Structure 1
């Protein structure tokens, strides 16, 4: 299932990110802001329970988070900026990292790092990667999570921007994983970049080219 967050604030900030004139500092800040807004939607279905407490006025039952604890897993390196923003919203969440890069010739994902919470199987997992282009890296990351015990129904992939080709790969490989994104763009070009896109998210976040 794909959820596109069409909130005006998300769409406005995404447009600013697309602009080639947007500098590193502003781009990084915008990426964090959009990630935080995406997280509100991605976590809409978190379980709640009632807890009894006393306000300065009266004692009553009030909602608190319950159910599975949370984990944020960043696909390195660009996913870091998303996780760093979202962890401010859910500071008790554990954070994992999966290092993957896309071979420039074959476009296939190459793994180089994997560090996950030991109890990942018992947590709701939110995977962060700004761009879902070919889908290869995201699919490989999700496979690593499942191999570590995470259940597909407990995994949400959060991407600022997606391409239909990448969505198709995730739906084929992991039909039980939900995707939350700010936009689904037109297609991929011959170099595997999203069109119209916003360029290479990692390079624009970190100022490397």
Structure 2
């Protein structure tokens, strides 16, 4: 797997990462969503440098000019509900992409420290020979990303796969690296060291879905 960790170079991305982590600033859910969206835009821009381009002739009011334009059939798939702001950020840059949405959540049994990933809802176009962008803001254990990809397989085989996350734990990064094809790309804003005993990223930022959309009732 090709891992692109954007935190390895300083940029304005650091500001947005600091604000989504800050316990005071993140209380503003609108600002939190917008920061996730802006991070998605930056990740999308960096990813765009690795995609395919084709030269096109463009007519201006004065002359004809040539420009290399994106030549990928993109399907953007996000994991509900936390993935929506990240999805919007990516869609701001890949505005012609087709879209897929999937629900994947942790189901805890008797032991609160163990869980399984449940996939219930899925809406997806044909993926055959297309560029799949699979977006989930928090790459903790990596199980949600893998379960989502498995659920998408009946819709066709993508030509290439790009995973996009905001914050990941090294354990989750290693898990997807060992699970996905070696030609898969992971685009991630920053990587944290560890997980706690409940599988949450440390230092992380908390529950991205709750911070973006409000707390949910636990089942």
Give me the TM-score of the superposition, normalised by structure 1: 0.92
Aligned length: 206
Q: CA deviation at 1:174?
A: 0.9
Give 2:188's aligned residue: 181
C-alpha RMSD over aligned residues: 1.6
1:121 aligned residue (120, 124, 128): 128
* Distance in 2 of aligned mates of 1:154 and 1:146: 13
The farther-off stretch of 45-54 and 199-208 is 45-54
- Show CA shifts across 1:75-121 (max 9, x none): 1111111112221222211110111101233222111111111x211
Give 1:193's aligned residue: 200
Alignment of 1:16 with 2:23, yes or no, is: no
Give me the TM-score of the superposition, normalised by structure 2: 0.88
2:102 aligned residue (78, 92, 98): 98
* Distance in 2 of aligned mates of 1:54 and 1:26: 40
Alignment of 1:170 with 2:167, yes or no, is: no
Where does 1:6-85 land on structure 2 (aligned, <5 Å)? Answer: 6=7, 7-22=10-25, 23-66=28-71, 68-85=72-89
* Distance in 1 of aligned mates of 2:211 and 2:103: 18
Shift of the 178–146 alpha-carbon distance from structure 1 to 2, 3 Å rule, reads farther
Flag as ranges the 4+ runs of structure 1 deviating above 6 A.
none
Q: CA deviation at 1:14?
A: 0.3
Give 2:4's aligned residue: 3
Unmatched runs of 5 consecutive residues or more in structure 1:
none
